[in-house]
Structure formats: C-alpha cells, structure tokens
Chains A and B, each alone.
Chain A
Amino acid sequence: MADWADGRLGIYSLAKANMRKIFPDHWSFMLGEICLYSFIIIILTGVYLTLFFHPSMNEIVYHGSYVPMHGIRMTEAYASTLEISFDVRGGLLIRQIHHWAAVIFIAGMFVHMMRVFFTGAFRKPREINWLFGFLLFVLGMFTGFTGYSLPDDLLSGTGVRFTQGAILATPVVGTYISMFLFGGEFPGHDMVARFYSIHILLLPGIMLGLVVAHLILVFYHKHTQFPGPGRTNKNVVGMPLLPVYMAKAGGFFFLVFGVIAAIAGMFTINPVWALGPYRPDQVSTGAQPDWYMGFAEGLIRVMPGWEINLWGHTLVLGVFIPLVVFGLMLVAIAVYPFIESWITGDKREHHLLDRPRNAPTRTALGVAWVTGYMVMLLGGGNDIFATHFHMSLNAITWFVRIAFFVGPVVAFIVTKRICMGLQRRDADKVLHGRESGIIKRLPHGEFVEIHEPLSQDQLYSLTAHEQYTPAEVGPSVDENGVERKVTRGQKLRAKLSKGYYGEGNQVPKPTAEEYKEITSGHGHH
C-alpha cells in the first residue's frame, strides 16, 4: 500500500525528511496551533452553517418558532439565522462554536504575533512568514467582520452602516465605492449576498492558501528555539514529529475543539434573536463591533470631529484620519522586521530566540504598540465602561485621547527600564551566583547571604544572547584624507542603532575575564 502510493506520490522521500522532524517544546510555540485549529474549526462549522443559511435580503414576515419576532418584517438572512438558532437541532451550537472560534482565532493570532515579535522570531529567514502571518491577521479581521454582518441583525447592520459612512469619508472616490459595494444607496438589497461570497469564498480561500504557505515555511525553516544547553543556532532540539509531536499536536487539536465546543454549549455569543432585524432608523446603545475591530472603533470614537470644506468639496478628517491611523498601526507591525534588520545590518540567519529583556528597545517598542492598541480598545468600549464603572463617558473619551499619545511613551520608557533591570540582574546572577536565602554569620560578626554559583547550564543560558554594537557613521574622511559622503540614511541608521544598542540601552553581558576574576577571588561580595 505504502509502496503503491510512493510509486505515484513519492511519499518515502517526503517522509524521510519530515517523519522524524524535530519540534521544540514550549507552550508559547503552541499559540500558532491554537490559531490553526480554530481556523479548521471555523471552516468545518462554517460549511455546516451554509447548508441552512439563506444569504438573501428578500423581505418576509416572520412566523417561526421565536415568538417575540412574530409578524415582524425581516430579511431571509435574519429569518434563516433564527431558524438555525431555534429550529435546527444543534444549529445554535454550531453557530456559537463558529463565532466563539472566530473570536478566539483572532485573539490567538494576536498573541501568537506578539510571541513572535517579542522573541525576535521574525528575523531572517522568517520575515516572509511574518508577512504571511500578518496578512492572515488582517484578513481574519475582515472575514470576521463580513461574517458577523451576515445575519442582518440590528447590531451588525449598525456596524455595516458605520463601514458605509467610513467609505463615504474617503476623499474623491468614497461615494462611488459605496454605491458599487452596496449596489446603490445604503443598505440596498445586495449587501448580504455580496458579503456572503466574500466571507465564505474569497477571504477564506486566500487565508487557506496563506495558512498552507505559512505552515510549509515553518516546516522548511524548522522551528526556532530558546537558547539553552545544547541548543545553538545550527540545530533544533526537541522531540520527533512521529510519534511525540504527532500525538501532542494532534491531541491539541481535539483539546482546542473540545474547549471551544464546551464554551459554545454554556455561553451565549451574539444572540441575534434579542437584537432584532436591521432597520436603518433603529439602533441600540452599546453598539460595538467584535473585539478585533474594537481598536478601529476606539479610534473613530475618540477622534475630534474635524471637517474641512474647500472649493465645494468636503474632507471628512474626523473619519478619514482614524482610518489612516488604523492602517498605519497595522502597517507598522508588518514592516517592523525589515526596519530592524536595516538598523542592525545583520544578514545572518537567526534561529535562537531572544529573551524579550535582551532586546530592550524592541521589547519597549512592542509594548508601546500594544499599549496604544489597548487604549483604543478601551476607547471602543467607552460607553460600556462608563456604565459599569460609574464614570463619565466624556471623561473616558478624554482619557483615551490623551492616553493614546502619552501611554505608549510611558510604556516605552518603563518597559525599557524593566528590561535593563532584568539584564542587570542576569549579569549579577552570572557573576555572583544565585541568592540562596541562607544567611551566614562571619566570625567577626558580619552577616552575609550565601550566593550559590550557577550551574553550567544556567551560565550558558544567561550569556548565550548576542549583543550588537551600535553602527557608526564612520570618520568623515577616509584613510586617504578624501572626504567621505555620508548619506542622511546612514546618519539616521547610526542614530537609531545607538538608540537600540548604544550606551545605556543594553547592559553589557559579563565577560569570561570578569567571571574568572570574581570567581578566583574569595568571598561572595
């Protein structure tokens, strides 16, 4: 049987390279798996839902089994969602698994991306894979948005209305895009059908391709690992795919599916029956998008209402600027690996991960970005936070406006200080050993704490990281006394490099000489 397949597919050669492939074990390396598995769960449940959902905006009068909607006019899309929820056995469960898995999928991608960022796993050779992951995150957001808009309920319809308003704010072409997207004036009769094909075909199709490419690259590059005894940049230490990783990763799929299924069985998500069908003249307070659009919502909410009218045209800055900032915040994470590799000028492959503390500037930048993101998430839920923490809506909005600028700066400074402190402690531990907590009294009465020297494993782990020296612009004249041309780019790079690796931006790791000097001396001071 295997021979038969090999003769046609060449499976032996494939298996030779991959069957005993080594994967390192660390919980944070499984975040990507959470995403992959929830993506698979979403596809499985999504296919089931398409069997019952009617992506149509034809209006009907409801006479189904949910009494509080009897006699209400609604689209077939909304009515069929009610039917899935109330008349299809297990339909509600599948709907809720689908939605919970989507919420977790994108949250998982966010955390996974942060893991990759803070450990420097995006460095060569993985920049392309970082971009694939980034695209998956962004496409995931829009797939989610088009998905929760499909039931055509009052909440999601309000979200679509917002999207249409934001499209209108686009200079020059806004009205055209809006008319083309909605097939006329909002809401029109085409939105659900069009979002449906985008949601179930176009975006997931692209995403599936990207996921496959992402995984192929993970296999091809082999996984990164944290430094530790026996782990170098030229090897990968862990357990083989068959059997351990097969069992763990395969088992983890079932664990993820099981947890999500249980959550979907016990916790309501998006109870569309309570929301009512969409009508452009109705609305509810607490109108929020799903969490992954929350930071865009926050940007929109806290932006002052600037509008410029010039030469018979309107520039809707109050909406347009948040849209641009939304894009820029996303682009910033996409291009970061290229910026950092430009600053370091490092063209080597990196397979050993950084501990976040050992790259203080990068870590601080990342935390600053996350802070900005979280502040905007808070802004996106300002009304809910106002009522539940008994605060003024306006005060929260002002807080967010200020914190968006101040928060990341403070976070940057604080994070960098913390990283430096941790680096210092590591250096101290290497040179002086671990504080044992044992107090010894010396003959002359002095009390000292005994420091236990570290094991060789720990010494290696704590000193394995690389430290760059800042790039210099170089002398303004070369060795022949001819003036060198120094471009502005070079100057900028030197400046950034100094900010990353210059004095005061990293703690020099202990050298062997220092260590020998201290350990050959007596006493532990």
Chain B
Amino acid sequence: MKKLSARRRHPLAAVVVLLLALAATGGLYAAFAPASKAQADETAQSLAIDEGKKLYAVGCSSCHGTGGQGTSDGPPLVGVGSAAVDFQVGTGRMPAQQPGPQVPEKRKVYSQAEIDQLAAYVASLGAGPITPTEEQYNPEGADIAKGGELFRTNCAQCHNFTGEGGALTNGKYAPSLEGVSPKHIYEAMQTGPQNMPSFPDTTMPEQEKKDIIAYIKTVNGEETPTPGGFALGGLGPVSEGLFGWIFGLGSLIAVAVWVAAHTAKAKKS
C-alpha cells in the first residue's frame, strides 16, 4: 500500500484514475443496459436514414426518382437492398457519369459513412439483400479448390479463368476482378449489379460465395504466383500469339539480320 500512496501524487495519476473510471462506467453500462443500447442503435439507424435521405435527394434522385421509384434514366431502387447500394456506390459506379452500354467502375465519390447512410435510406424503401458483415465474406479458411470449381461453373464464362474479365454483347463487359474487395465481390454475387445475374443464397449458399472469393484472391491477387514468368495479362492464346510474333519471332529476325549482315569493311584512308 505504501507504494501506491507514494505515487498517488504522480502527475499521471489523475489520468489513470479517469481511464479506470471511464472503463468501469462503460463496462457497467454495457452490462446493465443492453435494452437501451438497442434503442440507441435504432436512433442511430433512423438518424442514418435521415442523413441518407438528404444525400439521396442531392445525388441520386434526379435519375432514380425522389422516392426511389425510378425514372427513364435510372431503375427503381425499391427492394434492391443496402448491399446493392454499398456495391454500386462503394465501387464508384454510382453516381453514374454518362450514359453508355454499361456504367464503369471509377473512383468513389462518397465516404464509407455516407455510403452506409445512403444504404440505410434505400434499404428503408423496401426489403432487399443486406450489406454483408465481414464474417460473411471473409475468405479465410474457405475451400479454394471448391471455390475454383464453383468459379468455373458460375463465373468464368464471363469473367475469364482467373477473373481477368471479358466481353458481353454490344459494348457491355464483365469487369476484371483484380483488386475488387471481398465485400464487393460478395455483394455483386448477392445483388447482380447491372447485367450480371445474381447468385442468391438459395442457390449459392454463403459458404460457397466465400470459397469463390478465396479462389479469386488466390489466383488473381497481389501475391498470386505466376511460376512460368510474366503472365501476359492472363488472357490466353491471343496475347501469347501476339507476344510470340512480335517478341519471339521479332527478336529471332533481328538476330538473323545480324547473322546475315555484311561485316563492316575497313575504311579506305
């Protein structure tokens, strides 16, 4: 006890006491007031919806209508769910910049907090897929090989073997999956953005989505090994053929020119 009393006048003592008191209060509050916490959440939720509504009115309503009922410029958002908003706005696709066959991914305009508010507002318009939690999409421990098989059955036809993307009709395309976050991949499968079909949990359970994400991250990530050397875009024979012609045959012809050229003659002087 002597030690303690000796240090009670230490300049930091007040800080320590304060921290302890705060922790105790917080802990007690958490322990004794779960009901009121839910209520607080609800308030936060309705606050978010209000904020989201304001953001929506400014940024989205011109195309999607004031109440999300849709216009000729944009589809209705009733029932698309928060996951769709999180994907579309989170990948920068929305707000769209110009009309075209497809709205491309670009730098996102809203902060994640704003996106959450927008999502909360749109979700309030009608029930739809809910933004997944990390537990749902985190691919850690998932079955990569199974994910590969699922990917080849469900995804590769549009996105290529390793998710490099591919062409669709009339200028539309399946984008590359390089660098897309697990959450956004999950949301895309859940909601089917633009022309992509959805893969709902009823036909592709959550675990399978995780497997697929794990596969994509294994074969198309920063750390993906390309044992054979530079991957030439992972596009298959077209890029291989171009490379073979231009660099392969090209360098051999350059060598041939050297082999066949006349050696420099001594200058007459």
Contact = CB atoms under 8 A, between A and B. Distances in A.
The 3 A-B residue pairs whose C-beta atoms are closest, nearest first, are A291-B241, A285-B166, A268-B228
Given A96-B228, A255-B259, A288-B236, A263 B247 contact: yes
A108 B148 contact: no
B236 A286 contact: yes
Q: Which of the four size classes fits the interface of chain B?
A: 35 or more
Q: Which of the four size classes fits the interface of chain A?
A: 35 or more
Contacts of B99: none
A214 B13 CA distance: 96
A27 B256 contact: yes
Interface of B: 101, 143-146, 148-149, 152-153, 156-162, 164-171, 173-174, 215, 218-219, 226-232, 234-245, 247-249, 251-253, 255-257, 259-262
Interface of A: 25-27, 29-31, 33-34, 67-72, 85-86, 92, 96, 100, 103-104, 107-108, 111, 154-155, 248, 251-252, 255-256, 259-260, 263-271, 274-276, 279, 281-291, 294, 380-384, 386-387, 390-395
Given A70-B145, A104-B248, A108-B249, A286 B166 contact: yes
A276 B248 contact: no
A392 B249 contact: no
Given A251-B259, A255-B255, A285 B227 contact: no
Contact of A267 (B169, B229, B236): B229
Contacts of B232: 267-268
Contact of B173 (A29, A33, A290, A387): A387
A409 to B, nearest CB: 25
Contact of A265 (B157, B160, B173, B229): B229
A96 B149 CA distance: 25
23 contacts: A27-B256, A31-B256, A67-B218, A68-B218, A70-B144, A107-B244, A155-B237, A259-B252, A263-B248, A267-B232, A271-B231, A274-B161, A274-B234, A285-B156, A285-B157, A285-B159, A288-B238, A291-B244, A380-B238, A384-B167, A386-B167, A386-B171, A392-B171
A108 to B, nearest CB: 6
B101 to A, nearest CB: 7
B161 A275 contact: yes
B261 A107 contact: no
B248 A387 contact: no
A291 B157 CA distance: 21
A108 B250 CA distance: 10
Contact of B241 (A103, A154, A248, A259): A103
A233 to B, nearest CB: 22
A346 to B, nearest CB: 29
B201 to A, nearest CB: 22
Nearest to A106: B244
B259 A290 contact: no
Contacts of B229: 96, 264-268
Contacts of A288: 236-238
Given A155-B161, A283-B156, A271 B259 contact: no
A395 B172 CA distance: 12
A30 B226 CA distance: 34
A328 to B, nearest CB: 23
Given A68-B218, A263-B247, A268-B231, A108 B252 contact: yes
Given A71-B146, A107-B249, A283-B157, A274 B162 contact: yes
